[in-house]
């Protein structure tokens, strides 16, 4: 087949790379659809110039976007009616949860309604957004059928195929990760598999739509719970004055063990949300009432880690006879992931709010994040300006440049020499030799 038109709704960390990869396939043209909101409408202009909106390190993405835009196979619009000319429609919108952990499907429902209004026979619709198990058939499908007057599985095809992308490896993880595809009918599955075979080099596994939705949410819940265990064991080791990183090294020396690492908290669009989507799906569409206890406990532990980090800073300052309300604290990193500009569900935010509740003067530094993103705490991109006059620097994000801070210069800049390490960036001996007081998550701390 040639002259295939793909329409991708949602130009974010999932939609942009898959759209660009498909647009690079001979015979394919791709149109991205992005709502022209105040927060993200600017992406339309940037992408149509052939530029990536992401400021973190994304190998190959800048060149790919530039190439497909110059080739004329990729463009972005805010007009959803472009879907009437589509052969394949991918939905890549955000699916957050609220404070009570209930999924908020406003964007998913709105886009499904828009797609349904322009749906024609023979089109394949693929949901790539992570959803609660049961959502594709119980939420998306009825909207598409009602708006279009067509029958899913007969007049058009519908499938769920989850993304496994990660900032810093967007293209790599789409191309070189195994793919899971689940259609509501065998033909729906086959249509989606045919599309992905053009960009995915690894195995494409097929299953039911529900099993694919479960695979995504269970996969991320598994990782979140394992991180939570590592975080709890870090707290155990702090209490016992032992280094958790040495313990993990001893455990992982056995070839069939792989204990995760602790840290300042868990961020991103997936891990803080997907366990709740799994729980919601089970409770809403499952046959029996069940409360997945590991999910709830894991989330509680991981959400606590930024607060614990703030508590370590508070104790370190008090050891130096400084109260939080009198301190200037520099938070190093507001992106949730190293060398990325992605701030979704960043653990830095609850840490900052904790410090702010004690009336501390908080300064925020990041190399990649737009300086105007957070109105209450503007991000400073100049490291020297961020640390000048600071009493305490808290490392939240493992940006590569933080591993090479000039401590001699820091001595001149900082008022009080306290380093709180939330990501095991430094060892105590090195920092103390430089004349600083060091506290690290999961390490013996002399507070």
Provide the annotated active-site residues.
Answer: 216, 270
Output the DSSP codes for 36-89: --TTTTHHHHHHHTT--S--S--TTHHHHHHHHHHHTSEEEES-GGGGGG-SEE
Tokens of 417: 């020499």
Neighbours of 243 (CB within 10 A): 19
Contacts of 279 (CB under 8 A, 6+ apart): 101, 291, 292, 295, 296
Neighbours of 413 (CB within 10 A): 17
Neighbours of 122 (CB within 10 A): 11
| Element containing residue 360 per DSSP (H, E) | none
Tokens of 136: 């594709």
Strand 4-9 to 28-33 pairing: parallel
Report the C-alpha gap between 245 and 256 in whole angstroms: 18
Q: Counting Cβ atoms within 10 Å, is residue 75 exposed (0-12), middle (13-18) or buried (19+)? A: middle
**Which strands make up the sheet holding 179-183, listed edge to edge?**
74-77, 28-33, 4-9, 88-91, 124-127, 157-160, 179-183, 204-208
Q: Are 346 and 354 in contact (CB under 8 A)?
A: no
Q: Are 309 and 422 in contact (CB under 8 A)?
A: yes
Closest CA to 328 of 360, 306, 354: 360
Q: Are 144 and 178 in contact (CB under 8 A)?
A: no
Query: What would the 3-class secondary structure string for 296-320 be?
Result: HHHHHHHHHHHHHHHHHHHHHHHHC
Distances (CA, A) of 215 to 205, 207, 251: 11, 10, 28
Closest CA to 160 of 194, 133, 199: 133
Report the C-alpha gap between 50 and 55 in whole angstroms: 14
In the three-class reduction of DSSP (H, G, I as helix; E, B as strand; rest coil), residue 31 is classed as: strand
Q: Are 34 and 44 in contact (CB under 8 A)?
A: yes
For the CA atoms of 244, 300, 360, 262, the dihedral, rounded to the nearest 10 degrees, stands at 20
């Amino acid at each position: 087949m040639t002259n295939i038109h793909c329409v991708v709704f949602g130009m974010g960390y999932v939609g942009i790379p898959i759209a660009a990869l498909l647009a690079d396939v001979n015979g394919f043209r791709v149109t991205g659809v992005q709502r022209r909101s105040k927060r993200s409408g600017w992406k339309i202009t940037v992408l149509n110039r052939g530029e990536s909106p992401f400021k973190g390190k994304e190998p190959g993405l800048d060149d790919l976007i530039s190439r497909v835009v110059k080739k004329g196979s990729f463009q972005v619009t805010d007009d959803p009616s472009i879907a009437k000319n589509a052969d394949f429609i991918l939905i890549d919108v955000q699916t957050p949860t609220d404070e009570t952990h209930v999924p908020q499907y406003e964007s998913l429902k709105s886009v499904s309604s828009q797609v349904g209004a322009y749906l024609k026979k023979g089109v394949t619709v693929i949901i790539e957004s992570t959803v609660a198990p049961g959502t594709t058939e119980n939420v998306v499908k009825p909207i598409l059928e009602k708006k279009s007057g067509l029958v899913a599985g007969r007049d058009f095809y519908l499938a769920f195929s989850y993304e496994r992308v990660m900032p810093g490896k967007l293209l790599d993880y789409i191309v070189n990760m195994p793919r899971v595809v689940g259609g509501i009918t065998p033909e729906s599955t086959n249509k989606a598999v045919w599309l992905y075979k053009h960009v995915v080099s690894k195995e494409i596994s097929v299953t039911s739509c529900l099993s694919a939705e479960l695979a995504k949410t269970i996969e991320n819940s598994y990782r979140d719970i394992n991180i939570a265990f590592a975080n709890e064991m870090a707290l155990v080791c702090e209490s016992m004055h032992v280094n958790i990183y040495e313990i993990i090294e001893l455990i992982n020396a056995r070839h069939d063990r792989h204990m995760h690492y602790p840290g300042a908290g868990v961020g991103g669009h997936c891990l803080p949300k997907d366990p709740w989507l799994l729980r919601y799906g089970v409770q809403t569409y499952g046959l029996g009432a069940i409360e997945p206890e590991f999910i709830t406990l894991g989330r509680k532990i991981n959400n606590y880690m930024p607060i614990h980090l703030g508590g370590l800073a508070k104790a370190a300052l008090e050891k130096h006879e400084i109260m939080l309300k009198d301190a200037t604290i520099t938070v190093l990193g507001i992106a949730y992931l190293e060398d990325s500009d992605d701030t979704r569900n960043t653990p830095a935010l609850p840490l900052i709010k904790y410090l702010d509740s004690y009336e501390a003067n908080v300064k925020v530094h990041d190399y990649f994040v737009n300086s105007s993103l957070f109105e209450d705490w503007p991000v400073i991109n100049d490291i020297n300006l961020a640390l000048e006059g600071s009493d305490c620097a808290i490392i939240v994000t493992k940006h590569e440049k933080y591993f090479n801070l000039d401590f001699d210069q820091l001595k001149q800049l900082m008022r009080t020499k306290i380093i709180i390490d939330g990501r095991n960036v430094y060892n105590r001996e090195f920092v103390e030799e430089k004349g600083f007081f060091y506290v690290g998550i999961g390490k013996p701390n002399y507070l």
